[in-house]
Structure 1
Amino acid sequence: MPGDGTKLATTTHNRPNARLLDLTRLVRRAGRVLTGVDRVELAYLRALQDAPEPLYGLIRSRLGYILLDPNGIASVTHILSGPDGTPPDQQNKVAWRLARRNAIGRVPPFGLPRMLRRHLPVGTSYLNTGHSNLTERVLRTLKAAGIPIAIFVHDVIPIEFPQYQREGTVGPFTAMIARVGTYADTVIYNSEDTKRRTEALFPGRVPAPIVAHLGTDFVAARFDELPDGLPPAPPYFVVIGTIEPRKNHAFLLDLWDAMGADAPTLVIAGSRGWKNDDVFARLDALPPDGGGIREVSGLSDGALSALVDGSAGVLLPTHAEGFGMPAVEAALRGVPVVVNTLEVFGEMLGDIPIYASVSDRYLWISTINTLADAGPRTPKHPQFEPPSWDVHFKTVLRLT
């Protein structure tokens, strides 16, 4: 059934004496709105802090590497967890300052092996959940030190869909996946779909896999945190995610053009991304009142939940996903969700979403009109058992 998709690798494992979590991504992105990958890394940080094994943190800085012990990690956790009262434009500086001040080791690149030997307990294992700092130097050093390496692969979309990526990112990402195949002892996947796609790209050896669906938390709606003018009058629909080509906002703009003045309101909830100048131009050309389309970014989790709760549905015509968290979260809230016909949505949600291929615009328009006529419904928990972080970590931490 949807939600029970945690599968174990057929391997044995002795619990480590300590864990080393790579925090490079979270520190670099401190002060920004958390992305899906950021949220996973933060969930790992919190779970590992609560685990019985001591937790150390590795950060790649501009000048080399920083190592934190459990006390050092505790000193930076609050600034990595999102807004904490520190002005957003200062959070990144504060995060780096705290990391440097509380480090047990700070070395230039060539000093990494010595720092790890000096400070890490024998029997430490390494976890990287952020697609960051997976360099030849780091992985080779860990392997030479006999430290087991577990790496979380969220997706391989940059390789499969290079046309949607930022310039200059596909080559480095492809090389990173090759290094994962070469050095990782274990690879953690968020879905069977991601596992299948990733393993097909490994150049030779295939590391031991763990498939563990991501946990899903129910976030209380905070209507008081919505900006003025939101939510709009019903019926309205929401599309969630960075405005970049893969998310296929252009498709929805085309639908709204086709539906004309009688179309319900569309709320685009996400920051502007890359390689999407045509979409940005279309959004910029909207009339002052939005013409039935609203664009908003930087919403808190509670505000976004409130926006979703009042909607007639969440629309996700995305071309590719590694997990599809917005669809899972909408299903958890009992809100209708219309998705493109991707295998990962079927793996996560079964028959809960309304599936509509983006090749069938008529089906999308008729579905939107039907949901709009039904109007907003009182959010309720459907017959859906979402993945839980508890199950995720019981699986992963037993095997890494």
Structure 2
Amino acid sequence: MTHIYIDLSRLCLTPFTTGIQRVAKEIVLRMLQDARVSVTLLCTLPSQTAWRVLPHDAFIRYYTEKTGSPYGEGRPQLLTPEDIPSGAVFFDIDSAWNMPMHRGWLFPILKAHGVTVVPHLYDLIPVTDPQYFHEQTMRQFLSWVTAVLQYADHIICNAEATKSALHTLCETLDIDAPACSVVPLGADFAKKAAAAEDEDTALLEQLPQYRYLLMVGTIEPRKNHRLLLDAVPELAKRGIKVVFAGRIGWNMDAFAKEMAKHPEKGRNFFFAQG
């Protein structure tokens, strides 16, 4: 049985679970429950050159029951890149461009030891539409993509559009595209009902009687919430309400204030902050 190593440093270090961290959590939880899969979970140490191994039981308990810590108790088991054996797979499903352990340093070591490198590519938007991202994110992402294109044995994309963007990038750079598979993201995970705020509860009670457009996800520039917010008056004439649900993301403070003061708020525009 092929053994799979997964670095979940960003998931462990992020105080909230949304977007990519939610995907990583849900997929890994299922892998741990599948007897056909052999997995070691990792989290980077402060040295950024080694990991601590995350105990399966502690990880499952923390991310399903919110008790304890994903790190477990007692003295941690440590692992360096050189410790991963030949023939193993390093599956990079978390937001790896934002990891403490730089992939431009890590991937060559893994490859030299016969480890198969399989990154998950969610999109290439920081490359194709850089105007929507912070400069630091841009630099980190470009560095990560460079390492992926140079060292990946196989890339998993979440959509055909992502695979197409990858091939277009490789053609532009005049390099061969790595082997690639498309594995669409699922939506069949169960989530315990969270305690809703009074305002959100009132909103949920109102919506069934209306026609409405719903945007769910972090409020951020690239998702173009602006277009829909500007369309609220016209949509209202057609009997359609607009609902945003999600937390406020990077560079959206001014937009958040605008939403809070929107003249149609509470009538034709609603915002449930996650």
Q: Sequence identity, in percent? A: 25
1:286 aligned partner: 262
Question: Structure 2: which amino acid aligns with 1:48?
Answer: M
Taking structure 1 as reference, are residues 23 and 101 closer, same or farther at Cα in structure 2, changes over 3 Å only?
A: farther
Taking structure 1 as reference, are residues 201 and 80 closer, same or farther at Cα in structure 2, changes over 3 Å only?
A: farther
Q: How far apart are the structure 2 equivalents of 1:218 and 1:75? A: 20
The alpha-carbon deviation at position 183 of structure 1 amounts to 0.7
2:202 aligns to what SS in structure 1? Answer: coil
Query: Contact 2:259–2:265 (CA<8 Å) still a contact in 1?
Result: no
Matched, 1:131 2:95: yes
1:77 aligned partner: 60
2:78 aligned partner: 105
Runs of 4+ in structure 1 displaced over 6 angstroms? none
TM-score normalised to structure 1 length: 0.58
Uncovered stretches (5+) of structure 2, i.e. residues with no partner: none
Q: How far apart are the structure 2 equivalents of 1:80 and 1:218? A: 13
What's the C-alpha RMSD, in Å, of the aligned pairs?
Answer: 3.0
TM-score normalised to structure 2 length: 0.81
2:135 aligns to what SS in structure 1? Answer: coil
Query: Contact 1:243–1:270 (CA<8 Å) still a contact in 2?
Result: yes
Higher RCO (CA-CA < 8 Å; seq separation 6+): 1
Q: Structure 2 residue aligned with 1:42, among 15, 22, 25? A: 25
2:117 aligned partner: 149
Q: How far apart are the structure 2 equivalents of 1:55 and 1:99? A: 16
Uncovered stretches (5+) of structure 1, i.e. residues with no partner: 1-14, 107-111, 299-400
Matched, 1:23 2:8: yes
Matched, 1:268 2:244: yes
Q: Structure 2 residue aligned with 1:235, among 186, 203, 210? A: 210
For 1:227-261, what per-residue CA distance to the aligned partner results, in whole angstroms no more than 9, with x for missing partners?
Answer: 43121252142221111112111111111134568
Instruction: Give the alignment of 1:1-400 within 5 angstroms.
Output: 16=2, 18-29=3-14, 31-35=15-19, 37-49=20-32, 50-64=34-48, 65-68=50-53, 72-81=55-64, 84-86=65-67, 94-95=69-70, 98=71, 101=74, 103-105=76-78, 112-113=80-81, 116-117=82-83, 120-132=84-96, 133=99, 135-202=103-170, 203=173, 204-217=175-188, 225=196, 227-231=200-204, 232-233=206-207, 234-237=209-212, 238-259=214-235, 264-286=240-262, 290-298=266-274
Question: Structure 2: which amino acid aligns with 1:79?
Answer: Y
